[in-house]
Amino acid sequence: MISVGLAKKITIGLLAVFLSVFLLGPGSSEASVLRPGIGKKPQTPTTWQKPSEHNNKNDNKQDNATEERATWKKPQKNDDFIRVGLASGVMQATISSVTGMHILGEANKRDYGDFRSNVAAVLTVSDNVIAVNGKKSSSTSLVFVPISRESGTIIRYNGTDYRGEIVAKVIGDKLVIVNLISIEDYIKGVLPSEMSPSWNKEALKAQAVAARTYAIYTKNQKVHLGDGYDLCNATHCQAYDGLSGEVTAASEAVDATKGQIMTYQGVPIYAPYHASSGGVTENSEDVWGNKLPYLRSVKDDDSKSPYHSWSVKFTAAQVQKLLSSAGKNIGQLKNIALASPNGGASGTLSSGRIAGVRFEGTGQTITLSSQQVRQIFGLKSSYFTVRTQRRTAAVPTAKPNSNVKGNKTDVIDTPPAAMKDKELHVENGNVEIIFDGHGFGHGLGMAQYGAKAMADAGKKYDEILHHYYTDVEISKKD
């Protein structure tokens, strides 16, 4: 729908022709409700300001002034922007803006007109092009640009607000929705999702630098290039909730470290992080197989982490079933032992963690890495030991004057056996296999609870980062 200010400048006859050509939606102010998106490409970086008051009422100021139409151009410094995949393979997407929005063809540069405040554009795919509110465009990629910059560029995809712009693309016969946004604003949408905003500000600043570094590294590696964006919005990359997820304390940490990243020999590093180390982080080669000089095992204070210690219990039958579901059918489980998945002499890593576990069954014997064991059995981390607990059925004495026999009760008939460098025998179905573990996550790079402990002890964010990432430099990106 064209704004009132522009409509006054067009004759009634031309307006009728205009409306028959452009793909504008009905005059409804109903907002959309759902989630994810792509695309913002302003000419120069802009520091967005979160609106002090956000509501769904139409802003009539647009009707009283001549609006300056947004001109879409690729950013001069592409490194300042990032494309975040919000959804892939969707059949329909709803996009709107509290400030009103302008629609442009990404490839053909065609102008598809304006939508007023909170008027929704419902996107579908028709004959391999995007249809807006049921009317086909001639484009496979559309850019949705907020008209007014007064309240900060707010664009809404399926009920979630984002800064920057949204790009919708046709890949295959479905839509991919991408949020094109400045890296700094992207990190503001990441930080509260990855670390509690109530934590010490030095821990938040360390997390901001790590998240920014991770984003730039992942973008440079072109991990999601074939998907039409640089990073996804899930934990596969980094959790990202857009403007809707921003919190003041976290945004202040982002601003305080603006542009800062970690490098090794002048190159942005791979900067993974995780929730809780359990007391010691891991070497990169023992997790992903690739030795990186800046990802070395270090000790930290994990004592206050809620994940510091945990236990998970399985029956022998459950172990067999989970292994089988993962394509590892061993038959009936007989023995469990420490082992190196690479054929090494020891089943223990230099960090003290288990390298792997051997499962011996009546059908076959397999050796899995600790990371594989974690995935198959749904463990919080790969930092664990294994023990068995054998039970036997007993019949308690019946109550006096009672004709009812007592129910069978499981009791422990042997003390727990802990796996060190010996084999645990699983002799019958009454044996339980217990994983006693520490920490939460893959164990690489910064441990968030450890970072919190360091910050609470008075350490600055750069000290925290240098502790977890060996021999790196912290500097502003070019």
When pLDDT is cut at 50, 70 and 90, the band that residue 99 belongs to is confident
Quote the distance between the C-alpha of residue 468 and its chain's center: 21
- Quote the pLDDT of residue 426: 79
pLDDT digits (tens, 9 = 90+) for 139-158: 999 999 998 765 467 899 99
Three-state secondary structure string covering 124-155: EEECCEEEECCEECCCCEEEEEECCCCCCCCE
pLDDT at position 156 is: 94
**Mean pLDDT confidence for 42-59:** 31
Looking at per-residue confidence, does 340 or 27 come out higher? 340
Return the closest-CA partner of residue 59 out of 3, 12, 20: 3
pLDDT averaged over the chain?
Answer: 80
Residue 399, classed as helix, strand or coil, is coil
Average pLDDT for 209-233:
95
Convert the pLDDT of each residue in 298-348 to its tens digit. 999 999 999 999 999 999 999 999 999 999 999 999 999 888 877 655 677
| Segment holding 22, helix H or strand E | none
**CB 443, CB 382: distance < 8 Å:** yes
- pLDDT band at residue 20 under the 50/70/90 scheme: very low
Question: b/e for 304-314, b at 16 or more Cβ within 10 A?
Answer: ebebbebeeeb
Query: Which of the given ranges, 106-110, 111-115, 406-410, 471-475, has the highest pLDDT on average?
Result: 471-475
Indicate the pLDDT class of residue 111, thresholds 50, 70 and 90: confident
Determine contact, residues 386/419, Cβ cutoff 8 Å: yes
d(CA 167, CA 366): 47
Written as one letter, the residue type at 414 is T
Mean pLDDT (whole number) for 114-121: 91
* Out of 81-85, 358-362, 417-421, 438-442, least confident range: 417-421
**Residue 454 binned pLDDT confidence (cut-offs 50, 70, 90):** very high
How high is the pLDDT of residue 393?
Answer: 53
- The residues that bridge with 331 in the sheet, in sequence order, are none
3-state secondary structure 236-299: CCCCCCCHHHCCHHHHHHHHHCCCEEEEECCEECCCCEECECCCECCCHHHCCCCCCCCCCCCE
Range with the poorest average pLDDT among 57-61, 226-230, 434-438: 57-61
Beta-carbon contacts of 373 under 8 Å, excluding residues fewer than 6 positions away, are 356, 357, 379, 382, 384
187-196 per-residue burial string, b: 16 or more CB within 10 A, e: under 16 = bbbbbbbbbb
* pTM exceeds 0.75: yes
Q: Name which of 263, 253, 187 is nearest 460 in CA terms.
A: 253
Round to whole Å and give the CA distance between 402 and 128. 78
Between 337 and 210, the more confident residue is: 210
Pairing of strands 333-338, 423-425: antiparallel
- Could you tell me which residues come within 8 angstroms of residue 49 by beta carbon, excluding any fewer than 6 positions away? 152
Q: What is the pLDDT of residues 283-294, one digit of tens each?
A: 999 998 899 999
Mean pLDDT of 65-84: 56
Is 214 in contact with 271 (CB distance < 8 Å)?
A: yes
User: Strands, DSSP E only, in 267-383?
Assistant: 267-268, 273-274, 310-315, 333-338, 356-361, 365-369
pLDDT confidence band for 24 (50 / 70 / 90): very low
Give me the mean pLDDT over the 182-195 stretch: 96
Percentage of the chain lying above the pLDDT 90 cut: 62
pLDDT at 311: 97
| Consecutive H or E run containing 198 | none
